[in-house]
Amino acid sequence: MMLQGRHILLTGAARGLGAEIARCLAGHGAELILADIAEDEGRATAKEVGAQFLPVDLGDPASITALAGSVSKATGGKLHGLVNNGAIATGIGGIGFEEIEIDSWDLVQRVNVRGTWLLTRAAAPMLRASGSGRVVNVASDTALWGAPNLMSYVASKGAVMSMTRSLARELGKDRVGVSAVAPGILTTESTDYVPEARHRQYSDGRAVPGPQAPGEITDVVAFLLSEGALTLTGQVLPVNNGFVFK
């Protein structure tokens, strides 16, 4: 129960990895607020874990501002943790960089990069006010080893890693820790579209061979949200069972 009494906002919580993170954080005693653009599924996950649900479109600055306002009211202006998990990850891969449509590229960067920045900015006053705020950004190891045919996503997650390091320095003086996890391919519905050859590349190439379930990384996220994780601020942790060493 290392998160007992800590108010935590989790985006992209409706399904897949986000829902698994929600279940884990709830099990560690967190007071959760879940947010997602998929309202029906998000509310179902929130009901399952005993959390509050709020809708958000990370591509819309006004929606992010509204979410932060609602969170502030719900938490009395103090937020102990923010997990930036919401992102566009499906339907954008499998093509070379020369084939990416500009509108698709811009949408991925708007949600994955700008959305992460804007929500962190909106939450910063609440994180500072808590006295032990933590931000965990969900990146991807594709940006560490340079996965091909996935350029818009890889670029967005590389930006998230860089923002993590810079935010750690800007927020550190207020004892707000900012870190990132970089998973590889996980066995969720969001990776169903990934070619079998890429799945085998990960499964065979890990130091701990085989597929990796989302539940295998959630305890790491939980720890990074705890008071004891401040010394890891600025770090990007490849939580991929040894597919990439950093």
Of 17, 134, 153, 221, catalytic: 153
Residue 193 among the catalytic residues: no
pLDDT of residue 82: 99
Asked if residue 94 belongs to a domain, the reply is yes
* CATH number (domain holding residue 103): 3.40.50.720
Asked if residue 155 belongs to a domain, the reply is yes
**Which run of H or of E encompasses 54?**
strand 52-55
The amino acid at 78: K
Where the chain has pLDDT below 50, the residues are none
Closest CA to 184 of 202, 160, 169, 170: 202
The amino acid at 81: G
Asked if residue 2 belongs to a domain, the reply is no
Asked if residue 242 belongs to a domain, the reply is no
Question: What is the residue range of 183's domain?
Answer: 7-237
**Which run of H or of E encompasses 84?**
strand 81-84
pTM above 0.85, yes or no: yes
Query: Residue 49: how many CB atoms within 10 A of its CB?
Result: 18
Asked if residue 220 belongs to a domain, the reply is yes
Asked if residue 23 belongs to a domain, the reply is yes
Distance in angstroms (rounded) separating the CA atoms of residues 116 and 88: 12
pLDDT of residue 190: 62
Asked if residue 244 belongs to a domain, the reply is no
Number of structural domains found in the chain: 1
